[in-house]
Structure 1
Amino acid sequence: MNAIMSTLSSRASQRFGDRTALIIGEEQLSFKQIDELAATFAGGLRKLGVKRGQRVLLHLPNGWEWIVAYYAIARLGAVVVPANFLLSIEEVAYMLTDSEAVAVIAPDERCAALERFDQSRNAHLIGMLREGKQRETKSATDFRTLFDALPVEPVEVDPEELFTIGYTSGTTGQPKGAMLSHRCVFTSTALTATVHGRHPGERVVSALPFPHVYGNVVMNSCFLVGMTLITCERFDPSWALQSIQRHKATLFEGVPTMFYYMLVDPSFLQTDLSSLLHCTVGGQTMPTAKIEEIVAAMGCPLLELWGMTETAGPVISHSPYLPHRHGSVGQPFPGVEAKVVDYENPERLLNTNEPGELLVRGPMIMQGYYRNEQATRDNLLEGGWLRTGDIACIDKQGYIRIVDRLKDMIITAGYKIYPAELEQVLASHPAVAMVAVAPIHDEIKGELAKAFIVLKPGMNASESSILDFCRGQLAAYKVPRCVTFVESLPKTSTGKIMRRELRELRA
């Protein structure tokens, strides 16, 4: 099989046919049905003038429509620009302009908002009218009419051709568009499925957003291997637990906060999770105490993984076939190399177990940032090494532990404090459900660490008891200077905790 994405849905149709590919609510679609819909939708896109190599911005919620549109764009050899459905209209408009997209596929009301936001764009607007909504724009093409076209066969492309422009979260300025080839996306999908031992007939529950690289690999793995994907538009812990039990799911995939919410959901103890063979977690580091709590409660292994937009998905992971070390994200995929260097001097290689910036290279690494040569030069080094911005260390057996994000490091009177280290300790407190640590300004020491804690239902703790708990396990300069108890923590559109917004929280 060629390492290309344009033929993935058609090959899945040929191999798995009438098997169920997708379950969302009470609706079910087979691999054959999705491929047939993708073929006609691709014909509709071609009638609008979308050509091979042109960019199409895909801005829909999780659902069969997203999957069909994605494989239709791929079928034409066009370039997918995925935009998370929870992004603001300003963020979507920026991606539209920056990527030079010729078409936008979005709910009708979002098309109307884009019209008002930027009258100068000439991109085709394809509006999906959601049930119970009134049409808000007359200039958009009705999403449903694209299925009236004749089906088209998938084009054969060079594996190195551009397939996706994935925009980063933009935590330090405007988002950057990581250019990912067909080979990048296909290889990440294939190696994830291989390393995790995925096989036909498995049933996967996941509400990860399809536009995110993690959710995208989950979806593509189902079509590559022949698994059934059970999903919903937006994560809800009760839905996840009910879906695992109802469909006898073999796999649940999510980010740490999803697991935290499931553990404290009132229905958790009454839910039958015995069908699960394993779960995967990525997107953010998870404290070891929480991993152990989840493994014990859910009764199956939890495979930690690591990846980023610039790597098209996971490139480091645990495998069910290898020893599992909680607190690490596993080992690099076959064909992927990793090393740790001095972040101030990337040419200086660090020793075993010495923390520094993680660099990776391999067949899944991006081609660069779209129309941003300076950012490409800053992040893609000689020899194909990608600077990840993560502080990590590698042990003698090659297991990689993510210490923290470099940009989240706190400097207290010259001492370096990694928030994730404090979170590891705080998460082991029996009353803590979720925790995040962020800096606060101090006139004398520059920055101090502050902890934001969500307590488990029915549990109580005081600031003094939390700080006493930390003093027994952390050096004095690492102990948080204060604690704020909150009902929830700010999260990104993919469910990751946003440390940069913690400063805005109030007790």
Structure 2
Amino acid sequence: MMLTKSDKPTLIGLLQYAAETNPEGLCISMDGHQRSFSELFQGALTRAKCLVNLGAQKGDKVGILMPNSIEYLEIFYGAMLVGCVPVTINNRYKVAELKYVLSHGDVKFLFTSAATETNFLNTLKEAFTDLNLTQSSQELADAPVLEKVYVVEDAPHPQISDADFLANMGGDGFTPPSVSSDDVAFIMFTSGTTANPKACCLSHRSVVGNGFAQAARWQMTAQDRMYDPLPFFHMSTILPLTASMCVMASLFATRYFNVDEAIETFINDDITIGFIAFPTLTNEIINHPKFDGAALSSIRLVNNVAPVSTLEIYDQSFEHGVGVSAYGMTEAGGVICYGDVEDSLEKRLNTCGKPFPGIEVRIADPENPSNVFGTNQKGEIQIRGYCLFEGYYKDEEATQNAMIDDGWYRSGDLGALDNEGYLSYLGRWKDMLKIGGENVAALEIESHINTHPAVVLSQVVGVADDRLDEVAAVFIEAVPGASVSSQDIIDYCKGQISNFKIPRYVVFLTEWPMSATKIQKFKLKSFDLGEKLTS
């Protein structure tokens, strides 16, 4: 008998149930390394025993600053088994961000890596000059809660190594504390833009509930094999892994995305679900010389978040797979709706699907959030239900600002609900440009420019202008080898979108400023825009 959402399992309870029910079933495959459900649970149990013997108690924070690895997941689930709260740390964080996260997050145990391609130890040492890399015990002035640091990969000294940590396993006796589905499962820091990242406290109820909902929406079974190349510190991997565990399906992950390896995984591992999610990765895959969508007969579903014109290309590229989109955020347990495998093409391209059962969505006036709009009206997306976070850790003011009466969360996103309950995402509320007094959504301009045959992806930001207060600047990643100029883009816009919406600056680039998975638009504003164009 399978577990269900009504059983109110915890994340670690979900893994334990899979380990007991389907011990030999493949849970995770990564770069040639595989773990069954039983093996992953036993690895987590080993690390849980070590944490207990080091004095870990329920509620202690366990930071993980590592690339994707089997050990990452063992630490993640092992901490939860003890009742500790894992703190997943963005690998891209630099000195100021790491200093803030470890201090504000009250991290007591930190696991990190000194692998050649990482720079974690140097960054940590710059953030905390009193960090001692010859022993695990620490006394840091700017992170007084931090007691232990362990370097899981390529430790610079034996007494700070993973082997030193695992030597603490001790005896066999271990009684896990009682953990409720309403307890905080882990803390995930949002990417942040210009301010410090916010620490989202996510309950087991939120993530497990969304995992069951995802599995049901996509009609997942134990035979599914999902490819997900995204980082473990992000909900775009934690939630799909949870959904896979709900039905005992297998997840195929990777340390870092590599398009050659991605193609081989699709071909050789009979992948049924592609959780690629972001255009920067999907474009690499479908433009690869070895990609043959017609030959990938095992693919039945591919998830991406992109403009309609781009989603249409993806849907055509994976000939055997149904393309779906999604809408969500960390504060709502990752995702609150996906497209359904049985939805029409029009619904799958133009909407994010219907909200999961148990989650309410309404559209309201962003300037007056209590003023609720009707169907097909554009406004701010508000969310209520089991999926919502437990608040921002040690930031009551930010938590209160994110909520309004009766438990509604303000997303800051613009959207609309149609008369069938399908949700459309229409851009960020604060991603609106004010051009000559007119409100213009950046997404509206991007959606048109993205249809240009020489454009892979475009991003629009507002820049100050003496006459109009603000004008559009577009940043473009062109198709490799394509010949396209700034004037070509301007000409493509003429007669198709209003003159005042046509970008006055066109910048071509080959690499985007990224957080873990998203383009950081605020950084684009500091780029050299070149000369202003006229339309």
TM-score above 0.5 = yes
Residue in 1 that maps onto 2:359: 336
Contact in 2 for aligned 1:112/1:136 (Cα 8 Å): no
Among 318, 322, 331, which residue is 2:343 paired with?
322
| Residue of 279, 293, 301 corresponding to 1:278 | 301
Q: Deviations over 1:84-127 (max 9, x none)?
A: 22222432221111111211111147357535523323423342
* 1:159 Cα deviation from its structure 2 partner: 1.8
Equivalence for 2:180: 158
Residue-by-residue CA offset, 1:244-294 (whole Å, 9 max, x unaligned) = 111010011122221122122233248842211111124xxx111111111
> 1:33 is matched with which residue?
39
Query: How does the TM-score come out when normalised to structure 2?
Result: 0.89
**Contact 1:43 / 1:146 at 8 angstroms: preserved in 2?**
no
CA contact (8 A) 1:87 1:493 kept: no
Counterpart residue number, 2:136: none
What SS is found at the alignment partner of 1:53?
A: coil
Match of 1:51 in 2: 57
3-state DSSP of counterpart to 1:103: strand
1:236 equivalent to 2:258? Answer yes
Q: Which residue of 1 is the match for residue 132 of structure 2? A: none
Which of 304, 308, 332 is residue 288 of structure 1 equivalent to?
308
Could you tell me which residue of structure 2 aligns to residue 487 of structure 1? 510
Counterparts in 2 of 1:460 and 1:402: CA distance versus 1, 3 Å = same
Question: Is 1:389 paired with 2:412?
Answer: yes
Read off the aligned partner of 1:57 and give its amino acid letter.
G
The more displaced of 23-32 and 245-254 is 23-32
Where does structure 1 differ by over 4 angstroms across 4 or more consecutive aligned residues? 136-144
State the SS of the aligned residue for 2:513: coil
> Residues 319 and 156 (structure 1 numbering): CA distance in 2 closer, same or farther, change over 3 Å?
farther
Secondary structure of 1:219's aligned partner: helix
Shift of 1:185: 1.6
**SS state of the match for residue 414, structure 2?**
strand
- CA deviations over 1:342-397 (Å, ceiling 9, x no partner): 11100111232221111011101012111111111111111110000101111111
Over the residues paired in the alignment, what is the CA RMSD in angstroms? Answer: 2.1
The separation in 2 between residues aligned to 1:435 and 1:209, in whole angstroms, is 24
Match of 1:417 in 2: 440
CA distance in 1, matches of 2:229, 2:314: 18
User: Within 5 Å, which residues of 2 pair with 1:426-505?
Assistant: 426-494=449-517, 496-505=518-527
Question: Given that residues 281 and 303 in structure 1 are in contact (C-alpha distance below 8 angstroms), is that contact kept between their aligned partners in structure 2?
Answer: yes
- Map residues 354-393 of structure 1 onto 2, 5 A cutoff: 354-393=377-416
Which stretch shifts more, 56-65 or 117-126? Answer: 117-126
CA pair 125-250 structure 1, distance change in 2 beyond 3 A: same
3-state SS of paired residue (2:27) = strand
Match of 2:77 among 65, 71, 75: 71
Identity %: 26
Secondary structure at the residue paired with 1:347?
coil
Partner residue, 2:271: 249
Pair 1:167-2:177 in alignment: no
TM-score (norm. length: structure 1): 0.94
| Residue of structure 1 in register with 2:135 after alignment | none
**Aligned: 1:306 with 2:327:** yes
The structure 2 residue matched to 1:117, chosen from 120, 127, 141, is: 127
Deviations 1:132-169 (A, max 9, x none): x4516855664652574446454432221122222111
Q: Is contact 1:40-1:147 (8 Å) kept?
A: no
Q: Which consecutive unaligned segments of at least 5 residues does structure 2 have?
A: 1-6, 129-139, 531-535
- Helix, strand or coil: the match of 2:18? helix
Contact 2:152 2:161 (8 Å CA) reproduced: no
Asked if 1:349 corresponds to 2:375, the answer is no
SS of equivalent residue, structure 1 residue 8: helix
Once the 2 structures are TM-superposed, how far is the Cα of residue 212 of structure 1 from its aligned partner?
0.8
Q: Is the 8 A contact 2:155 2:161 kept in 1?
A: no
1:105 matched to 2:111? The reply is: yes
Q: Supply the distance in 2 between the matched residues of 1:502 and 1:422 (Cα, whole angstroms).
A: 16
Task: Tell me: CA distance 1:449–1:12, structure 2 relative to 1, closer, same or farther (3 Å).
Answer: same
Corresponding position: 1:61 with 2:82: no
Unaligned runs of 5+ in 1: none
Q: CA, structure 1 residues 253+14, in 2 after alignment: closer, same or farther (shift >3 Å)?
A: same
Tell me, what secondary structure is at the counterpart of 1:189? Answer: helix
Displacement of 1:446 in angstroms is 1.4
